[in-house]
Amino acid sequence: MSAYLISLGAGMLIGVVYALFKVRSPAPPGIALIGLLGMVLGERLLHWFGT
């Protein structure tokens, strides 16, 4: 259940960041790829730290 809450919070935070930078949704390809890279790296870090 906590993973769902973290996911919801992260999504809401990204929505706020998009609004602050006035980024259209869906994001332009460069920004979208950076976001995907962040998700992949975040997942790897969680596994690396054993969480």
- The structural domains of the chain, with segments of one domain joined by +, span 25-51
pLDDT in tens, 2-50: 877 887 888 888 888 888 988 776 767 887 788 888 888 888 888 888 7
Contact 21, 29 (CB under 8 A): no
pTM, to two decimals: 0.48
